[in-house]
Structure 1
Amino acid sequence: MGNDSKLVDTLLHRLATAFKIRDLGTPGFFLGIEMVSAGDCVILSQRRYMSDLLGRSGMVALKPLSTHAAVTKSATPSDDLFDNPTQYRRIVGALQYLTITRLDLAYAVNRLCQFMHTPTTEHWGLVKRVLRYIKGTLDYGLRLTPSSSSGIHAFSDSDWAGCPIDRKSTSGFAVYLGSNLISWLSKKQRTVARSSTEAEYKALADVFAEVTWVVSLLRELGLYSGGPATLWCDNLGATYLCANPVFHARTKHVEIDYHFVRGKVASEEFVVNYVFTADQFADIFTKPLSAPRFTALRDKLNVATAQPCA
């Protein structure tokens, strides 16, 4: 791909002399992902995949829901094992592939994957809730729009001790290239954080590693703007820790491998700024949210229907 059609045609011709290839033109449907044009924008949609998933799971007639997870209830240990664990694993595995374009499902799918070995009837209920949410959002996909900026900015968040089973925190981040979301994550942290600052600092380490890789890739492609990447965090303690050269005794328990964050900030490769929790986009990757909050963040993360772009 490129913005010089003559150069693209020349490259395709040279490839054709060495390999047996065909130019199929504008992508339409590839690996279960459909490219839907909406004015100047493109929507990456998995509608067919979602419809097939609902059919295979026998959930076509389900009543739609506005969110994928309940705010008032979380999964807890239970002895009431689900009688068909193979079905649970098959559907949750299929949901993992759906997060390629439906990043709004990332938190729920991450939680469901943690119970693959011994799913209970309660966990199966959580799967059905996700499918009910999918039923009401079949037309949604990841929107890509033309952007005048090539700057990188990212949002990082953590839900401290959010898991009721082992009290580990959940990290989440969203990385933008210009106005387009290009990378995201929702995962449980490997160790228990003893403070919210530590949990947020670990989440920052994850997004720093991801942005470092994105910058390296853009440099190889000759598309890197050269400016420092901006990272947004809603924990003041973590933002101070990134820039503070003094390592206080109360933070000595933080693992050494997370301290490369401060090195990146010191070298001015990254800038870490504070953002209010209300404006924290990565909040959707760390915890269940109310319907209005969930819908607002979903829109800001470019998950939209195939409507013409303004």
Structure 2
Amino acid sequence: MYLLIYVDDIIITASDQAAITKLLQLLSADFAVKDLGDLHYFLSVEVIKLNSGLLLSQHHYIMDLLKKTNMHEVKLITSPMASSLALSAFTGDPMEDPSLYRNIVGSLQYLSLTRPNLNYTVNRVCQFMHRPLKPHWQAIKRILRYLKHTVSHGRLLHHNSSNTLQAYFDEDWAGCPDDCRSTGAYCVYLGSNLIFRSSRKQPTVSRSSTKAKYKAVANTTAELLWIRALLQELGITHSTPPTLWCDNIGATHMSVNPVFHARTKHVEIDFHFVRNYVADKSLVVRFVPTSDQVADVLTKPLVSAKFHHFCYKLNVRSPPLILKEGINTTPITTPTQDSNSTYESCAAQHNLKTIEKSSNPIWSPNMKIEF
């Protein structure tokens, strides 16, 4: 049984419905508890039940944000940032109202909870909050136009997934035009579910792409091992070591071949940190083509086709047509076989590497209560 508590709201999930009922009875003996039934809405996050799992959406939150900025009737766009855009802290005129910029950026940060495909874009505009310029505000408006286009999209959590732990990581070497620092990013999967992602600039300038890549390897390794320890405390064990997927052959070879170390003294600490876990068989580093490197969408703006390809792999989906607002609000009681087949075929075509399905789901019925 797991509990998520925020002030006076609690989400309870367990594999046994009787255990949830017993806990509610114990809480009711000491507190005024109101059982709200199955989880549908929590902290501006809407929970939509699908055949394949749960879809976390912030539809109403996005609509409120669009109305707040008077962007609810704008033209739609298919990507949040142009692939050729290079924002700078020194190009453009200052905004007349910087507080508006900071307020909207703060709202976008919370939105990235259910929209991991916006992680890099939001991270980029956050870097100019101290002195926002007009080109930065134009970038914000493009993000809002994209949100208008994908207002019903959300983050899908599969209920039928394995316990395989793996991570994709990437870096955009010297991608910042102001200080030439690299942007490192990684996303961690438990089975087919994205459970953690990060996109941030590296603290120092890297003189080679391999050095920047290996910094990202070390950072991702530390995060992956921490997540594995946390999952073990929660009772989730792993029969295989975690896997790191890297699209840099040099960094992949360095992690398994100590001969390369003699020519890479400048990454000595990161090398030994990763190498020890690889030699101990607690970690596996494998090569993945750049076209399948999911973390690429978290390091730089991409063209629309490639952006949407990685959005699917990040489990950013649109709800079934019948659930979209304004089309049909009648709850679905019995899904059709055709819809199941469609989801199965899509999952087969875009399935992440080494992800296997399991008959034992790691999540169970949810309930929300409040005091």
Same structural fold, with TM-score higher than 0.5 when normalized by the shorter chain: yes
Change (3 A) 1:68 1:258: farther
| Residue range with higher mean Cα deviation, 268-277 or 212-221 | 212-221
Q: Which moved further from structure 2: 69-78 or 122-131?
A: 69-78
Query: SS of 1:263's equivalent?
Result: helix
Instruction: Please say if residues 147 and 180 of structure 1, whose CA atoms lie closer than 8 Å, have aligned partners that are also in contact.
Output: no
User: Which amino acid in 2 is paired with 1:9?
Assistant: T
CA distance in 2, matches of 1:159, 1:24: 46
**Cα deviation code 1:57-91 (max 9, x no counterpart):** 12112111100111122112225111111111110
Query: Could you tell me the TM-score, scaled by structure 2's length?
Result: 0.80
Task: Specify which of 157, 171, 184 is matched with residue 144 of structure 1.
Answer: 157
The offset of 1:244, in angstroms, is 2.7
Which residue in 1 is equivalent to 2:23? 11
The answer as to 2:290 corresponding to 1:273 is: no
SS of residue matched to 2:198: strand
Q: Does 1:45 align with 2:60?
A: no
Distance 1:259 1:134 in 2: 43
- Which residue, 227, 231, 239 being the options, matches 1:218? 231
Match for residue 83 of structure 2? Answer: 71
Q: 1:219 & 1:18 partners in 2: Cα distance?
A: 32
- Structure 1 vs Structure 2 CA RMSD: 1.7
Residue 36 in 1 paired to residue 15 in 2? no
Letter in 1 for 2:96: D
Partner of 2:301 in structure 1? 288
Q: Which digits, 9 at most, give the CA deviation of each residue in 1:89-141, with x for residues without a partner?
A: 11011100000000111011010011111111111111111111111000100
Contact 2:255-2:271 within 8 A present in 1 as well: no
2:105 touches 2:125 (CA, 8 Å); kept in 1?
Answer: yes
Look up the equivalent residue of 1:74 and give its one-letter code.
Answer: A
1:2 aligns with: 14
Q: Is the contact made by 2:215 and 2:270 (CA closer than 8 Å) also made in structure 1?
A: no
Asked if 2 retains the 8 angstrom alpha-carbon contact of 1:69 and 1:126, the reply is: yes
2:53 and 2:160 in contact (8 A); partners too: no
**Correspondence for 1:54:** 66
How far does residue 255 in structure 1 lie from its aligned partner after superposition? 6.7
**CA–CA separation in structure 1 for the residues paired with 2:271 and 2:27:** 44
* Cα pair 1:37 1:306 within 8 Å, conserved: no
CA contact (8 A) 1:161 1:168 kept: yes
Question: Residue 236 of structure 2: SS of its match in structure 1?
Answer: coil
SS of equivalent to 1:254: helix
Per-residue CA distance 1:265-288 (angstroms, 9 max, x = gap): 222111110000011111100111
Structure 2 residue aligned with 1:305: 318
Q: TM-score, normalised by structure 1?
A: 0.95
Q: Structure 2: which 5+ residue stretches go unaligned?
A: 1-12, 321-338, 344-371
Residue in structure 1 matched with residue 336 of structure 2 by the alignment: none
2-structure distance, mates of 1:17, 1:225: 38
Deviates more, 1:163-172 or 1:3-12: 3-12
Matched, 1:116 2:124: no
SS in 1 for 2:34: coil
| Partner deviation per Cα, 1:193-224 (whole Å, 9 max, x = no partner) | 11111111111222212211211121111112
Letter in 2 for 1:141: G
**1 or 2 for the larger relative contact order (CA 8 Å, sep ≥6)?**
2
Task: Verify: 1:104 aligned to 2:117, yes or no.
Answer: yes
Distance in 1 between the 2:277 and 2:32 partners? 45
In structure 2, what is the equivalent of residue 95 of structure 1? 108
Q: How many residues align?
A: 310
Alignment of 1:202-213 (within 5 A): 202-213=215-226
Distance 1:21 1:264, change over 3 A: farther
Deviation at 1:226, TM superposition (A): 3.4
- 1:299 is matched by which residue type in structure 2? Y
Report the CA distance between 1:239 and its aligned residue. 1.1
Moved more, 165-174 or 15-24: 15-24
- The CA distance in 2 between the partners of 1:45 and 1:142, in whole Å, is 7
In 1, Cα distance between the equivalents of 2:161 and 2:94?
A: 52
Q: Is the 8 A contact 1:152 1:175 kept in 2?
A: yes
Partner secondary structure for residue 50 of structure 1: helix
Could you tell me whether the CA contact under 8 Å between 2:261 and 2:271 is conserved in 1? no
Deviations 1:25-80 (A, max 9, x none): 21111101000122232110001111111111121121111001111221122251
Are 2:145 and 1:128 aligned?
Answer: no
